[in-house]
Amino acid sequence: MAFVGVAALVGGLALLWRDKPVQKIESRLEMLTGVGAARSGLNPQASILSQPLDDRPGFVESFLARFGNISLLFEQADTNLTTSKLTLISGALVAMGVGVGVVARIHIVLLPLVAGLMGSLPLMWLLMRRKRRLKTFASQLPDALEMIARTLRAGQSLGFGFNLVATEMPAPISKEFGRVFEEQNLGVPLEESLHGMTERVPNLDLQFFVTALVLQRQTGGDLAEILDKIGNLIRDRFRIWGQVQALTGEGRLSGTVLLALPFVLFIAVYQLNPDYVSVLFTDPAGTKMLAAAVFMQILGALVIRKIVNIKV
């Protein structure tokens, strides 16, 4: 009995001198969630829970991040691809292009051109997907603004209007407005959520909507009337843009034909008489003429694009 009593007394004193388990758990949770890192002056982004385990940037992501936000491009295109996967696919297509060029017995000078074209196909697909998604979002925005305006006139809240757009309209606008609504439910400020949406969707009309919404929350006013005016403005811009596209259709078609004609003729003549075309690669004057022709083609493409690309 005396031994058990003394042992219990010693154990109790040892527990009193040590930290409580609850404090240890709290300190560990703070370090995991980033609170402890912020208190100690460390970077909160270094927290374990701040980023998923499979979202750590690799060598390719770290290298390409120096030239811009590459991950934002994937988010704007709404694809599950990553920078590593895109690089791997591009490398495989480059090797395939070289193999096809060797099998087809293409001139060795043209092999880098073929490999470059094959390797750029994934990036071109990504840019086309991004452009198509942004164009679809722009065409859906007037209907979404009118739906929110009708919701406000019916006495509902702005969040209910965002949720209605997310549930009633198709993608991609439903996904973006639904993401803003979910962030609101999680306690993210509205201005921050709207700013994130403008980064994911670089659309001028959307920036008008976000600016008007933020100003209305700060100064007051009839938000439904503001949204109706913005929707009418967007529809008028689409109507004028359609007229401009119709008037510049001939110029755009002529530019496409003029830019594609030299390459098509070069391939046709190369297939008919390879020795006749090979002088451009073997003779120094031919190499200079070829470089000058490529430069003039690029300059002509830029000039034609500047003429037919009228901003509305």
At residue 111, does pLDDT exceed 60? yes
Q: What pLDDT score was predicted for residue 29?
A: 57
Domain spans, the chain: 2-46, 70-119, 134-243, 248-308
DSSP type of residue 188: -
- 301-to-248, 249, 257, 287, 296 alpha-carbon distances in Å: 15, 16, 11, 21, 8
Q: What pLDDT score was predicted for residue 58?
A: 55
Q: What is the pLDDT of residues 20-48, one digit of tens each?
A: 555 555 665 555 544 444 444 444 444 44
Q: What pLDDT score was predicted for residue 47?
A: 46
Bin 43: left if φ > 0, else alpha if -120 < ψ < 50, else beta. Answer: beta
- State how far the Cα of 27 lies from the Cα of 32, in Å rounded to an integer: 9
At residue 120, does pLDDT exceed 60? yes
Please give the mean pLDDT across all residues of the chain: 80
Question: For residues 129, 130, 136 and 139, what is the CA-based torsion angle, rounded to 10 degrees?
Answer: -150
| Best-predicted range by mean pLDDT (41-50, 89-98, 99-108) | 89-98
Single-letter residue type at 290: L
Contact 236, 151 (CB under 8 A): no
Higher per-residue pLDDT: 272 or 12: 272
Q: Which two tokens stand for residue 186?
A: 């999680």
- State how far the Cα of 162 lies from the Cα of 194, in Å rounded to an integer: 11
Confidence of residue 165 (pLDDT cuts 50, 70, 90): very high
Contact 266, 113 (CB under 8 A): no
Higher per-residue pLDDT: 17 or 163: 163
Pick the CATH number of 134-243 from 1.20.81, 3.40.50, 3.30.420, 1.10.3470: 1.20.81
Phi first, then psi: what are they for 205, rounded to 5°? -65, -35
Range 224-237 burial, b when 16+ CB lie within 10 A, else e: bebbbebbeebeee
Contact 175, 78 (CB under 8 A): yes
Confidence of residue 117 (pLDDT cuts 50, 70, 90): confident
Q: What pLDDT score was predicted for residue 113?
A: 81
Query: pTM (2 decimals)?
Result: 0.67
- State how far the Cα of 204 lies from the Cα of 185, in Å rounded to an integer: 26
Q: What pLDDT score was predicted for residue 30?
A: 58
Taking residues 153-172, what's their average pLDDT? 90
Q: What pLDDT score was predicted for residue 24?
A: 58
HSE-up of 286 (CA within 13 Å, CB side)?
Answer: 10
At residue 157, does pLDDT exceed 80? yes
